[in-house]
Amino acid sequence: MDPEELLELMNSRVSIRRYTDEDLDREDIGMILEAARWSPSWTNTQPWRFVVVKDEGVKREISEILPEVFRKGIRNAAVTIVVLVNPEEDKYHCVEDGAAATQNMALAAKSLDLGSTWIGVFDTENEDEVRDVLDISNEYRVISLVPVGVPKKVPEKERKELSSLILKEV
């Protein structure tokens, strides 16, 4: 992939909250998880772990924990991938490491013509509840939930002009 293709992939990725009822190929899920596995981490600690949620009942239970805007997306997505980190493995940058893994998953999903959205959970009142539903020990922190599926609708997106984002050059 040349740099222009990569930038186009990044430019075309949008948050998807409505999915068809199509299942995902096991290979596609594996590719998305591989993309997360190859994310950068502080001193290569790789503190992330993933839970792939396919069960409709578990997706519904998780969705009820979160704000209304995210519920339908989790319920309708073929899978929701839960991104966890172990702070003992990276005391300094585990949150950033988990965020990098989340971003890589979103880009991998887009490259497969799938949709996803990033639902931040870290350090919210919902984190403990998500961990409880999934029966995950407290040694792990929940960074994000990433519903993935075949998009039903792809929204338009806008971005600020680059020049408005550059504070200064020194």
Task: Domain of residue 83: give its range.
Answer: 22-153
Q: By the 8 A CB rule, do 74 and 62 touch?
A: yes
| Residue 130 falls inside a structural domain | yes
DSSP element (H, E) containing 31: helix 26-37
* 26 lies in some domain: yes
With respect to residue 13, please indicate whether it lies within any of the assigned structural domains.
no
The CATH number covering residue 76 comes to 3.40.109.10
40-53 pLDDT tens trace: 999 999 999 999 99
Q: In this structure, is residue 5 part of a structural domain? A: no
pTM of this structure: 0.93
109 and 148 in contact (C-beta within 8 Å)?
A: yes
Q: Number of folded domains in the chain?
A: 1
Distance between CA atoms of residues 19 and 2, nearest Å: 30
Q: Which candidate, 34, 35, 27, 45, places its Cα nearest to that of 9?
A: 35
Asked if the model's pLDDT at residue 55 lies above 90, the reply is yes
Is residue 161 situated within a structural domain? Answer: no
